[in-house]
Amino acid sequence: MQGKVNCREASRLLSVAFERALDNGESEALQYHLGRCLMCRNFDSQLKFLRKASERFRSGGD
């Protein structure tokens, strides 16, 4: 993959990055997009939060 990605594709890459390493092209395109898109940066940090919350949930939540 090379060049630009839109928000839909960026969200897909952010999710896939939890499952496998992104290749260089994917990674560059994603970083370029994140640098210019606050919405996807929000999404990125929320995915990380989701993972943290899920781990907490497994051990009993509150």
Partner 1 sequence: MSDPRFAEIESHRPYLVRYALSQLRDGQLAEEAVQEALVAALESIGSFGGKSTLRTWLTSILRFKVIDLQRRAATERHHFESSDSTGDEEGWIEELFDETGHWRVAPQAWSDPEAALDQRRFWEAFEHCLDALPPAAGRVFFKREILGENTDAICKDERITASNCWVILHRARLGLRACLEKSCFGKGAADAG
Binder of partner 1 out of 7, 23, 24, 31 (CB under 8 A): 7
Contact call for residue 30 and partner 1 (CB under 8 A) = no
Residue 51 is a binding residue for partner 1 (CB under 8 A): yes
Least distance in Å: CB of 24 to partner 1? 19
Task: Give the single-character DSSP code of 5.
Answer: -
Which of 25/48 has CB closer to partner 1?
Answer: 48
Q: What is the 3-state secondary structure (H, E, C) of 13-62?
A: HHHHCCCCCCCHHHHHHHHHHHHHCHHHHHHHHHHHHHHHHHHHHHCCCC
